[in-house]
Structure 1
Amino acid sequence: MSNLEASYKLILIELRKIAEFENMYFKPIKPKLSDIELISLMILAEFKSIDSEHQLFRDIKGFEIASRIERSVYNRRKRKLFPFMEEIRMKMVEKFNEFETFFVVDSMPLEVCKISRSSRSKICKETDYAIPNKGFCASQNLHFYGYKLHAVCSINGVFQSFDLSPASVHDIHYLQDIKMQLSDCVILADKGYLSSTIQLDLFKEVNIQLETPKRKNQKDYKPQFYPFKKYRKRIETLFSQLCDQFMIRRNYAKTFQGYKTRILTKITTLTTIQYLNRFVFNRNINKLKINLVG
């Protein structure tokens, strides 16, 4: 058995323990490859940094699963499984973050094409509420066309939640969504999230303490508590891993449904490897560039 096939079977065994059903939505004809097997294949592809479906089906040629699904069907079913994949991811996250009280929030730019092509690009423009636009990333001094990935992770490095917004949306607006997802905790953020109004609103409504470093020209300035500065780097490391190993900035999708499915698959894969590291192999959860089987 090849390393690729053995890794697939290990992922499938663990996902079957988490998921309630093999097939997650109604189909008139029962498929040869179940939904949970399809999700395991998607996670395997991202873990092995196989970012092309053509390459994936070439690599699994000869495997038992290869004859049970076609490439075009794989793509359509992949998009339909978006809500069920997020449900599986959240079940894994709950085992990590059930008693977590410290989280980190940040955003990163996701370019869908170069700014010079933006006026004639048709990528992700089929839905009015999610049309990409131009934005600016201050930390990278970068003008870009596309989306922002907003995310909250624990200080141990497990993504709690994430969302996509057009590039022009300011980071601070994501804090309004956090109110619906978290409560009774401390959230660490950078200077881009400075807002005394929102800070007070979060504390009054859901007892979230927003900790942001003050600017040097502000009244009552004092350096941020050093461990908080250290914890904030955890989400930057996760973003770097998404860019490097999971190639999150490389885009082949043409529709927003396909684009957000690609992003979710990469984040779910990262969480799955962390889950296997902790609950199967009992090792450091953030060692992602490893072989799952010997």
Structure 2
Amino acid sequence: MNHLIQNYEIILKTLAEFPIIYTPYLQIRRPKLSNMECIALGLTSEFMSIDSENQLFRMLKGTNLEYKIDRSVFNRRRKMLFLLTEQVRQHIANILNETEQFFIVDSIPLDICKMSRASRSTVCREYLETAPSKGFCASQNRWFYRYKIHTVISASGTVQHFDMTCGAVHDVHFLKDVQAEMRDCTIIGDKGYIAPPQQLDLFRTVNIQLEVPMRANQHNYNPPPHIIRKTRKRIETFFSQLCAQFMIQRNFSKSFNGFKTRILNKITATTIIQFLKKTVFQRNINNLKINIA
């Protein structure tokens, strides 16, 4: 309990230092918990691997936050603060990646349910355009029913840009989002991003050089340099941290808005902890399991 409040106060103090306008929550009565405090509480719970709101509010009993907000109200407000949370994440990422020139792109699948229950599952299916879909995972050689998180991180390990699609969308289509958000850099991808037209378009329009390894059956095959293979391991380690510490593969949400809010809070939590490690504690930003309090 003490660690929860201590971590919360550190994250809240950090959020207050950013030049971001936390627009007041529009309701008749003024809430006891401000928007900034609500975001800080959500980020703290994700950092401490508390992905159950029931468990979070059990831990808040006996603290100064116990009577400031109800669990259901906190759940609704966190969804409404989605855009503001993304603004916070993007601001921190721009600070950490200000001098970065090399980035890595990859995707991670997030299962909604087992394939045997896919036909009768109602999770995240309130709207057809945002519903999950079936797809095939070549690396695991199996079919799935899930979403995909497409991510671009810097060589140092900070997420610069990410997006979520249904499972049937190919990784190459994410490059259109990258073209709109980034420019003047080098991005390293895996064999799934081999697409000469898209690579040429990225270079011509926004001066992005997309480096992907050749397939073994291609003409004039050359194995990728060691530095490329070593750099790509950074995003694999990041995905492992999301799965192990932040439990991104576990889903308790029933709606798409709740699902995407949880994903954003987990990624934002990793970003703000990396910021604290670099600016306050002067530690390796990728050692995320160390307590900040």
TM-score (norm 1): 0.97
TM-score (norm 2): 0.97
Structure 1 position 67, deviation (Å): 0.7
- Cα distance in 2 for residues equivalent to 1:171 and 1:10: 37
Establish whether residue 177 from structure 1 lines up as the match of residue 177 from structure 2: yes
For residue 149 of structure 1, give the secondary structure of its aligned residue in structure 2. Answer: strand
- Cα distance in 2 for residues equivalent to 1:51 and 1:19: 28
Amino acid at match of 2:122: K
Map 1:235-250 onto structure 2 (within 5 A). 235-250=235-250
Task: Return 151-160 or 193-202, whichever deviates more.
Answer: 193-202
1:16 to 1:7, Cα distance in 2 relative to 1, 3 A: same
Cα deviation per residue 1:217-253 (whole Å; 9 max; x = unaligned)? 1112111121111111111111110000000010011
Amino acid at match of 2:230: K
Given that 2:20 and 2:88 are in contact with CA atoms closer than 8 Å, whether structure 1 keeps it comes out as: no
1:37 to 1:19, Cα distance in 2 relative to 1, 3 A: farther
Cα deviation per residue 1:57-85 (whole Å; 9 max; x = unaligned)? 00111110111000110000010000000
For residue 156 of structure 2, give the secondary structure of its aligned residue in structure 1. Answer: coil
Cα deviation per residue 1:156-177 (whole Å; 9 max; x = unaligned)? 0000011110101111110111
- Cα distance in 1 for residues equivalent to 2:289 and 2:19: 25
For residue 218 of structure 1, give the secondary structure of its aligned residue in structure 2. Answer: coil
What is the match of residue 111 of structure 1? 111
Cα deviation per residue 1:80-128 (whole Å; 9 max; x = unaligned)? 0000000001110011111211100000110011111111111111122
How many pairs align? 293
Amino acid at match of 2:290: I
Task: Return 26-35 or 252-261, whichever deviates more.
Answer: 26-35
What is the match of residue 140 of structure 1? 140
Map 1:1-294 onto structure 2 (within 5 A). 2-293=2-293
Given that 2:155 and 2:234 are in contact with CA atoms closer than 8 Å, whether structure 1 keeps it comes out as: yes
- Cα distance in 1 for residues equivalent to 2:285 and 2:158: 9
Amino acid at match of 1:242: L
Amino acid at match of 1:194: I
Unaligned runs of 5+ in 2: none
1:145 to 1:5, Cα distance in 2 relative to 1, 3 A: same
Given that 1:23 and 1:34 are in contact with CA atoms closer than 8 Å, whether structure 2 keeps it comes out as: no
Given that 2:111 and 2:144 are in contact with CA atoms closer than 8 Å, whether structure 1 keeps it comes out as: yes
